[in-house]
Amino acid sequence: MAKRSKKESVIPDSPTAVFESSSDKLLNAIQKYWGYNSFRPLQQSAMLAAMESRDSLTVLPTGGGKSLCYQAPAVCRDGLAIVVSPLIALMKDQVDSLTACGIPAAFINSTLSVDERKLVADRIRNGELKLLFAAPERLVQNRTIDFLETCNVSFIAIDEAHCISNWGHDFRPEYRQMGILRSAFPNASIHAFTATATQRVREDIVLQLGLKEAEVLVGNFDRPNLFYRVERRHDALSQIKAVIDRHPNESGVVYCISRASVEETANSLKSLGYKALAYHAGMDGEQRKTHQDAFIDDKIDIIVATVAFGMGIDKSNVRYVVHAEMPRSIEAYQQESGRAGRDGLEAECCLIYSGRDTNTWEFLINQSENDDNRQASLTALSKMEAFCGSAICRHQQLVRHFGQQLEKDNCGACDVCLDEFDKVQDPLIVAQKILSSVYRQEQRFGAEYTAQVLRGSKNKKILFNKHDKLSTYGLLKNEADRVVRGWIDQLLAQGFLKRHGEHSVLVITEEGAALLKGNASVILTRPKSSSAAVSLEDKWEGVHRELFEELRQMRMKISTERNVPPYVIFGDMTLRELARYRPTTMATLTKVYGIGQQKKDEFGKQLIQLIKQYSAENDLQTNLQAAPAKPAPPSRPRPVAQISVATGRIFELFDEGLSLDEVALQTERAISTVTSYLEKYVVARRIDSATQWVSARNIKLVEQTIAEVGRERLKPIYDALEQSVSYEDIRVIIACLVNRELG
């Protein structure tokens, strides 16, 4: 295995670790075109790499803003940025969204006619386009490369880069050809982006693409806005229905393993009156497209699908994802569940599983994969099974899988941390009963059979084997089948049992033998008797729901007229802010998240007219101010960054007391780049005063302004100070302020 890249950084996703703007040009671009006032974690560093033509690999969770990392630099740089994208639907989504923001972009794929391809080529020759999206197999064709070599290619971005690695969960052989881009475009930097990549996959991506001294940026894999819940399957349709009913009239995805399960589930939901459609690879292409478009355009609420659906779909307002059957790996689960809540708003992820799912995946893996990949896939499957049976925080398990640590004991957003289970009073005795039964069955039977023995089943096979005569027969007869099966899963997850052979028989491990003797400890849980489900604290506070619905209807009307998905016009976050603050002037409208210059010019008058009329009819106050951001709770542990070599060197210079100018001179970096490290330095060193870098006058002004307008957004502070204090200084002051509050 290759060594870890010396330049790799793992950056915590904390409120105080948001990167500064590398230049006014980048910040102005995201404000003008996207209506964003600040960068999310890692975005600034990823953009810097593209702006400065340094190869990079950026790993950000779904919804972390990967696309902006190459879109904003493409707007700011001269020339054409080429984006490698695996799916036609993804290309169209991104081009529609960019066009709606006023950015010239196009794609080239099999859906275009000859005349349409010629038009795209003419726009490239004329220098009209800033971004061109293409599939990997088309991009590596000699004709395509020959043509693009005559153009001013600024850089190349490779989306869904995990597809390049056969260690990843979605390997695509055509991605292996991407290595030729280095020789074809020697003067263009290459930037890879993905949402899910273990260290091994990251190393393989760098190797296969031939990235030179790549800066590997790894964001926090945690998605705090997602609520994770895992349930053993006992009545699949009722369990799915319970999730849907918690999110009436909202968009959701239900994943199944097989096409037959997809069809059956979709038909059952439709018969119950839900607006649901099926999607799987067995349908003809036109039908799949029709169903996908209906979901993306909010014409239906639910898409029931195999994993063939969803990669790269930019629909931001998916409020729940249900896995009606267990996914094949934690990487797959992270990506599939991550399609919920891409807009940063609360969303639910419910995984409903059974031991039979493991058997199904083992069969499919053994049938379809070669020897090189089979064992890796089976290992990944066993880790997924352990995740399902575990009683450890779901968020913690997911980030640990990717080599990170959740910096708090209770995530507050999963079934485990919110106590949706009761702990078994005598777990050792219960575990010994189960292990003893496995032993007396000579470790020759599976989990379902073992549960039946323990529950005293009169199954013919049990009677034939005379296992009704075992001393363990019926020891758990008062427990429900799903409870006993859940305990077996938990013993598997904790390593006291393991599955063996093609029939997945239960075998006692060394740890299990110690537990039988009372020389180990175990934790077992059971579902609470109450059926009430805990939900995430949402972000509806202050939002006028009826006005939000009116705005949704306006969005739907506009999107239908323009033949684009509703979220291309406005995301749900933007609509909530409009319904919360109710702006009625162009000046107040531009302060709303997600409204840039283009959208203000196109839709501003309609929005203002609707808000004014609705507010007048319902006696609502307008032009409300954003509430001050709440300080982080003092009890929350502070994330600790793993510092790269380059970052560490700059930190050492700050430690020596050098000024920004002196650090820039010694490192031969732009002052804006050095400034971007300062806030990280302040966070890492827990510095609570900015006086070394910012004047006392500016510190006082910023802190006074924060007391009035809050610190949730930078632009209101910047504007209130009449642009007399830079964004960089404001961020450093905020970082110090948070450090003081955290103590």
Q: Which residues contact 528 (CB under 8 A, 6 or more apart)?
A: 419, 420, 421, 422
Structure tokens at 447: 């989990």
Residue percentage of the chain with pLDDT more than 70:
88
Rounded CA Rg of the chain: 27
Q: In this structure, how many other beta carbons lie within 10 angstroms of the beta carbon of residue 143?
A: 8
Residue 516, domain CATH: 1.10.10.10
pLDDT digits (tens, 9 = 90+) for 356-388: 898 889 888 888 777 767 888 888 898 999 899
Give the residue-averaged pLDDT of 446-461: 93
In the listed set 365, 396, 420, which residue is the last one of a domain according to the structure? 420
The closest alpha carbon to 607, from 653, 529, 553, 648, belongs to 553
| Domain count across the chain | 5
Residue 531 has pLDDT above 50, yes or no: no
Q: Compare 428 and 20 and report the one with higher pLDDT.
A: 428
Domain that residue 591 falls in? 545-617
Flag whether 536 is in a domain: no
pLDDT digits (tens, 9 = 90+) for 208-228: 888 988 899 988 888 989 999
Flag whether 535 is in a domain: no
Residue percentage of the chain with pLDDT more than 90:
42
Q: Are residues 407 and 451 in the same domain?
A: no
Q: Are residues 203 and 234 in the same domain?
A: no
How far is Cα of residue 216 from the mean position of the Cα atoms in its chain?
A: 18
pLDDT digits (tens, 9 = 90+) for 125-171: 999 999 999 988 888 888 889 999 889 999 999 988 888 876 655 66
Q: Are residues 176 and 298 in the same domain?
A: no
Residue 649, domain CATH: 1.10.10
pLDDT digits (tens, 9 = 90+) for 539-555: 678 899 899 999 999 99
In the listed set 405, 420, 435, which residue is the last one of a domain according to the structure? 420
Give the residue-averaged pLDDT of 685-691: 82
When pLDDT is cut at 50, 70 and 90, the band that residue 11 belongs to is very low
In 137-204 the beta strands, taken as DSSP E runs, fall at: 153-158, 189-194
Q: Compare 494 and 12 and report the one with higher pLDDT.
A: 494
Residue 187, domain CATH: 3.40.50.300
Q: Which amino acid is at 179?
A: G
Flag whether 2 is in a domain: no
Q: In this structure, how many other beta carbons lie within 10 angstroms of the beta carbon of residue 289?
A: 15
Q: Which amino acid is at 463?
A: L
- Please, are residues 641 and 11 in contact by the beta-carbon 8 Å criterion? yes
Q: Which residues contact 348 (CB under 8 A, 6 or more apart)?
A: 226, 227, 229, 243, 246, 247, 319, 320, 321, 340, 535, 536
Flag whether 622 is in a domain: no
Q: Compare 730 and 579 and report the one with higher pLDDT.
A: 579
596: three-class secondary structure by DSSP: coil
Q: Is 99 exposed, middle or buried (0-12, 13-18, 19+ CB in 10 A)?
A: middle
Structure tokens at 475: 């020891």
Q: In Å, how far are 172, 609, 619 from 615, measured between CA atoms?
A: 52, 10, 6
Flag whether 708 is in a domain: yes
Q: Are residues 426 and 443 in the same domain?
A: yes
The closest alpha carbon to 279, from 268, 293, 271, belongs to 293
When pLDDT is cut at 50, 70 and 90, the band that residue 736 belongs to is confident
- Round to the nearest angstrom and report the end-to-end CA distance of the chain: 41
Flag whether 123 is in a domain: yes
Residue 438 has pLDDT above 80, yes or no: yes
Return d(Cα 572, Cα 720) in angstroms, integer. 27
Largest CA distance in the chain: 87
Q: Are residues 609 and 660 in the same domain?
A: no
Q: Are residues 212 and 255 in the same domain?
A: no
Exposure string of 669-681, with b = 16+ CB inside 10 Å and e = fewer, is beebbbbbbbbbb
Secondary structure, 3-state, 89-126: HHHHHHHHHHHHCCCCEEEECCCCCHHHHHHHHHHHHC
Flag whether 538 is in a domain: no
Return d(Cα 688, Cα 682) in angstroms, integer. 8
Structure confidence at residue 493 (pLDDT): 85
Q: Is 443 exposed, middle or buried (0-12, 13-18, 19+ CB in 10 A)?
A: middle
Q: Are residues 21 and 117 in the same domain?
A: yes
In the listed set 420, 454, 485, which residue is the last one of a domain according to the structure? 420
Q: Are residues 416 and 429 in the same domain?
A: no
Secondary structure, 3-state, 195-224: CCCCHHHHHHHHHHHCCCCCEEEECCCCCC
Q: Are residues 286 and 197 in the same domain?
A: no
Q: Name the least confident of 132-146, 603-617, 640-654.
A: 640-654
Q: In Å, how far are 50, 96, 190 from 82, measured between CA atoms?
A: 12, 16, 10
Structure confidence at residue 6 (pLDDT): 40
Return d(Cα 190, Cα 209) in angstroms, integer. 8
Which range is most confident: 189-203, 436-450, 617-631? Answer: 436-450
Residue 1 has pLDDT above 50, yes or no: no
Flag whether 339 is in a domain: yes
Give the residue-averaged pLDDT of 333-353: 91
Q: Are residues 467 and 558 in the same domain?
A: no
266: three-class secondary structure by DSSP: helix
The helix-helix angle for 545-562 and 597-617 (nearest 10°) equals 140
Q: Are residues 193 and 323 in the same domain?
A: no
How far is Cα of residue 11 from the mean position of the Cα atoms in its chain?
A: 16
One DSSP character per residue, 27-75 reads HHHIIIII---SPPTTHHHHHHHHHTT--EEEE--TTS-HHHHHHHHHH
Q: Are residues 184 and 300 in the same domain?
A: no
Residue 480 has pLDDT above 50, yes or no: yes
